[in-house]
Each structure stands twice: as structure tokens, then as C-alpha cells.
Amino acid sequence: MSEYQSIMTEVDGSVGILTLNKPKCHNAFDEQLIAEITVGLQELESDERVRAVVLSSTGKSFCAGADLGWMKRAADYTPEENLRDANRLAELMATLNELAKPTIARVQGAAYGGGVGLIAACDIAVGTYDALFTLSEVKLGIVPAVISPYVLAAIGERYSRRYMLTAERFSAAEAYRIGLLHELVPGEEQLDEAIAEILESLLANGPHAQAECKELIRVVAGQPIDAQTIDETAQRITRVRASPEGREGLAAFLEKRAPNWLAE
């Protein structure tokens, strides 16, 4: 693993853990944190030991959006520098969203702006009762452009209209109601217990099938159920069913034994 200043990474059995580690700054984004999360995710994806990735944070906040110092520097950027900056954040969000391995957001505190984007780009999100959220960009006269595809996919257009336009803070209960969080728990101890249960379910399944599922969802989401989509889905199941993992899964089911990926 690489040496990092703003994050920590570790592998615990089959689980990769990437932890935002700037608690004094509430894990707010700057150029270094964005770059390190991107590289950390790529390293965990390429690590053959890792079957699932947990995105977590230290301190009171999950991620408080943009760092003040970064915003001050960005105020003097040229248009070209601003575009490069935005593209780095876009690369991070796309890397997280398109990671072949299942991802879980462990939300133990406030998530503002881009922090909401991180949660939305994860496959599964679990948070504590006292977590708070806001899409705060319009308060600063800007827009949540780079994170918008992931937020819209998570909470839909209707709730995005409200919370992107008002920049209101909303509770964990509201985040759960609108689909940003999948599960709510009282505190961090229960948070780890809930994530352990989800990981147990994830690790029981075929890793290549999970990667295929993630790609399938990205391709099919929002598409009309027309001849092209029907053909696309039929082609995908045909390919996966004939794959070594597909054959092994079916054989294990018929032979009433555990599939070989559980022995890995």
C-alpha cells in the first residue's frame, strides 16, 4: 500500500477499509485528500485479497464538503485550473461509483456537499441517528455539478430539487426516507455490527457476479424496456451463466455444497 497523509487503508481478511483521516478538518476535501482517496480505491480494487470495500472516516464528521483553504485557493484559479480541479473530483466519484467490488459507506457524522456525493456513489450506506446532511453548494453561489449524477441516482430528481435548491440540512431519518441511507443505527458500535452483517451477506456471493451486477445496473438504469434492453440483458446472462464462476455456482447448488469462492 502507498504512504498516505490524509487517509488510511487496511485489509482485514477479505475486506478493504479506506478511512478519511483528517478529523481536525472534519475530513473536508482538498487536492491531496481527493487524490489519495482515488489512489486508495484503485489499490484496494486491484488487491486480490479484497472482496468488498468500506469507506469510513475518523472524528465527528464523515466529510464536511470542501476545505476552506482549498476554496480560498480555488477562488484565484484560472478557468483551466478550475476545470482540472473539477476533473480530479469527477475522477474520484467515478472511481468509487464504478469500483468492481461492492462498497459500503460507514457514515458516523455530518456529510456536506461532496461528502453526500461519496455516500451516493457507494453501493450501500449505513448511518448513525445523529448524522446530518446538506447539499450546501448554492449557499456559496456554486452548484453540486460533479456529484449530481450520483445524488440523483440515489435520491431521485424530486428530492434533489428540494435539497440542492434550498441547501437545507436534513437528518439521518430523512436521508433514510429519501434513499440516501439504506439503514439507520443508534451509534458507532451498532454501525459496525450492521456493516459486519452486510459484509457477511456480500462475501457469500460470487465476486465476478457482483462485478457483473454493478455493471448491469449502470447499463440498465433509466433505460426503456425496449428490444435493445431486452437483448442486452439476455446477452449478459448468457455470458455470465457460461463463465467459470457461473458454472461453479450452479454446480455447487445442484450438488448441495459450498461454492469454491467461499473457500478462497
28 and 62 assigned to the same domain: yes
pLDDT values of the chain reduced to their tens digit, one per residue, 264 residues: 568 999 999 999 999 999 999 999 999 998 899 999 999 999 999 999 999 999 999 999 999 987 777 777 777 788 888 888 889 999 999 999 999 999 999 999 999 999 999 999 999 999 999 999 999 999 988 899 999 999 999 999 999 999 999 999 999 999 999 999 999 999 999 999 999 999 999 999 999 999 999 999 999 998 899 999 999 999 999 999 899 999 999 899 999 999 999 865
**CATH code, domain carrying 216:** 1.10.12.10
**CATH code, domain carrying 110:** 3.90.226.10
CB-CB contact of 261 with 207 (8 Å): yes
Counting the structural domains of the chain, the total is 2
Kindly report the pTM of this predicted structure: 0.94
197 and 66 assigned to the same domain: yes
Q: Domain span at residue 246?
A: 207-263
101 and 221 assigned to the same domain: no
User: Is residue 139 in a domain?
Assistant: yes
51 and 128 assigned to the same domain: yes
